[in-house]
């Protein structure tokens, strides 16, 4: 679809954000049609340009930077320069949204806090992401993903009981916080249509991770603060009973979700679990049951078990690694891959926006900008 047919077409977003969480919000807004102008330090730019999660370098920038900053413009400005700050303030007067994820107190020292910006543009929607909010003993601590996961209890939920807690294998806090900020921004934009007034929208890595756990925390809060016990064997969800988990097969792994234990025993012909007819035992004897299943499942290949379980409408799935997943027709039909390009010959693959409108998917070929790539163009356009 053409950019001007997207729902946020015409919206101007100034992104004073770097690393992951704030730029993730900008990425989604740009996917939906917003014009996202990334404010970057001259020569240095977003520090994420040098945050490598592999040894692959793409025209001087990390793959991570390219993944979350495609389809944006770059305006180079020294936020310690009075001249550049004045240019930024002119941009603010024309903008609809600002995002920033500096540590608490930094944006105030720069002079671009919400109170100041609101005087320049009363209808501005101002989005902020912090690590742990703006108050309390954690507010000045580094808002880093692994640290936030660890403080939130999420890491403690993962991994087998009796073994070390296990973090998620990706930046869950950053990704979630970025998407929650988008929810808040879009809500504030609807409000501004009705009132012609802007809003200050806040979230944090910690709040995002706590909300991510709202299901299990609600149980904990209303169950006498009794903590769940992680399964010591194939733990997958601390609150769910056997057979819930991932089991090794002869040639791979299979995931089995909520399933009556006796029914599973009948289907896979495992006599030792058919007698667990009391549903309470599926939890109280969870590890015993799961070990019996695991010792049986490993004797045949994954497809053997899928051929038995799927026709019986048992919730199960092969555990796929990326290469095998991408070869599957289930992945291909989603058409998630897109190519993005830049004037200097950069040509890479990434994923598209996962949201569809009227059965249409959104792709954009424009890659992440080089530092200051659009400074002259934007300066001329807005008479800076």
Q: How far apart are the first and last CA of the chain?
A: 32
> Does 4 have pLDDT greater than 90?
no
Give the pLDDT confidence of 144-180 residue by residue, as tens digits.
Answer: 999 999 999 999 999 999 999 999 999 999 999 999 9
What is the arithmetic mean of pLDDT over 107-127?
Answer: 97
What is the residue-wise DSSP string for 107-174? HHHHT-SHHHHHHH-TT-EEEEEESS-SSSTTTTS---HHHHHHHHTHHHHSS-TTS-----SS-HHH
Is residue 310 within 8 A of residue 245, CB to CB? The reply is: no
What confidence category does residue 89 fall into, taking pLDDT thresholds of 50, 70 and 90?
very high
Q: What is the dihedral of CA 311, 316, 321, 325, to 10 degrees?
A: 40
Q: What is the distance between the alpha carbons of residues 42 and 223, in angstroms, rounded to a whole number? A: 54
| Domain 3-212+372-381, CATH among 3.30.70.940, 3.40.50.10540, 3.30.70.360, 1.10.10.10 | 3.40.50.10540
The pTM score is: 0.93
CATH code 3.40.50.10540 region(s) in the chain: 3-212+372-381
Question: Residue 296 phi/psi, 5° resolution?
Answer: -90, -45
CATH code 3.30.1540.10 region(s) in the chain: 245-327
> Does 55 have pLDDT greater than 80?
no
The yes or no reply on domain 245-327 and CATH 3.30.1540.10 is: yes
Question: Residue 347 phi/psi, 5° resolution?
Answer: -150, 105
pLDDT of residue 57: 74
């Amino acid at each position: 679809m053409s950019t001007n047919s997207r729902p946020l077409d015409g919206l101007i977003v100034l992104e004073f954000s770097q690393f992951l969480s704030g730029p993730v919000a900008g990425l989604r807004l740009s996917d939906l049609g917003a014009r996202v102008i990334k404010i970057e330090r001259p020569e240095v730019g977003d520090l994420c340009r040098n945050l490598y999660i592999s040894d692959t370098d793409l025209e001087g920038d990390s793959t991570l930077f390219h993944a979350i900053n495609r389809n944006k413009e770059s305006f180079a400005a020294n936020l310690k320069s009075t001249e550049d700050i004045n240019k930024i303030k002119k941009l603010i007067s024309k903008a609809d949204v600002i995002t920033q994820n500096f540590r608490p107190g930094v944006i105030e020292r720069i002079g671009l806090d919400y109170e100041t910006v609101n005087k320049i543009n009363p209808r501005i929607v101002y989005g902020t992401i912090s690590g742990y909010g703006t108050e309390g003993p954690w507010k000045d601590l580094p808002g880093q993903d692994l640290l936030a996961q660890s403080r939130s209890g999420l890491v403690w939920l993962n991994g087998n009981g009796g073994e070390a807690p296990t973090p998620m294998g990706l930046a869950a806090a950053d990704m979630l916080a970025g998407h929650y900020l988008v929810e808040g921004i879009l809500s504030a934009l609807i409000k501004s249509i009705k009132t012609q007034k802007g809003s200050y929208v806040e979230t944090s890595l910690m709040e995002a991770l706590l909300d991510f756990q709202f299901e299990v925390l609600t149980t904990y809060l209303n169950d006498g603060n009794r903590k769940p016990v992680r399964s010591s064997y194939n733990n997958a969800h601390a609150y769910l009973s056997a057979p819930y988990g991932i089991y090794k097969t002869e040639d791979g792994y299979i995931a089995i979700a909520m399933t009556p234990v006796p029914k599973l025993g009948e289907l896979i012909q495992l006599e030792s679990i058919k007698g667990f007819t009391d549903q309470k035992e599926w939890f109280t004897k969870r590890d015993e049951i799961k070990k019996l299943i695991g010792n049986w499942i490993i004797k045949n290949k994954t497809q053997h078990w899928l051929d038995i379980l799927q026709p019986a409408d048992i919730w199960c799935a092969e555990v796929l690694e990326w290469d095998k997943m991408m070869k599957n027709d289930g992945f291909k039909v989603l058409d998630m891959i897109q190519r993005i390009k830049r004037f200097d010959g950069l040509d890479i693959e990434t994923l598209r926006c996962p949201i569809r409108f009227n059965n249409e998917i959104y792709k954009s070929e424009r890659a992440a900008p080089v530092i200051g790539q659009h400074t002259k163009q934007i300066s001329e356009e807005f008479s800076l």
